Structure 1
Amino acid sequence: MPTHSEAATILGERLRAARNERQLTLEDLGVLAGMHWTNIGKIERGQVHPSVETLVRLSTALDLDPAPFITGLNADMYPGRAHKLTARDLLAARRDQER
Structure 2
Amino acid sequence: MMRDPKSRASQRVGEVVRSLRNDATISRTKLAERADIDVRHLARIEAGEGNPTLFVLIQLATALDVKPETFVKGLTATDLPENLKPYSEADFRRELRRREGA
Structure 1 position 39, deviation (Å): 0.8
Query: Over the residues paired in the alignment, what is the CA RMSD in angstroms?
Result: 2.1
Q: Of 9, 12, 15, which aligns to 1:13?
A: 15
- Any runs of at least 4 consecutive aligned residues in structure 1 with deviations exceeding 3 A, and if so which? 88-94
Q: Of 66, 73, 83, which aligns to 1:64?
A: 66
Structure 1: which 5+ runs fail to align?
Answer: 95-99
Q: Please report the TM-score for the alignment, with normalisation by the length of structure 2.
A: 0.81
Identity %: 27
Counting only pairs closer than 5 Å after superposition, residues 1-99 of structure 1 correspond to structure 2 as 1-77=3-79, 78-82=81-85, 85-90=87-92
The superposition leaves residues 34-54 of structure 1 with CA deviations (integer Å, 9 ceiling, x where unpaired) of 111111010000001100000
- Look up the SS of the partner of 1:47 in the other structure: coil
Q: In structure 2, how many angstroms separate the alpha carbons of the residues matched to 1:41 and 1:93?
A: 40
Cα 1:93/1:46, change in 2 over 3 Å: closer
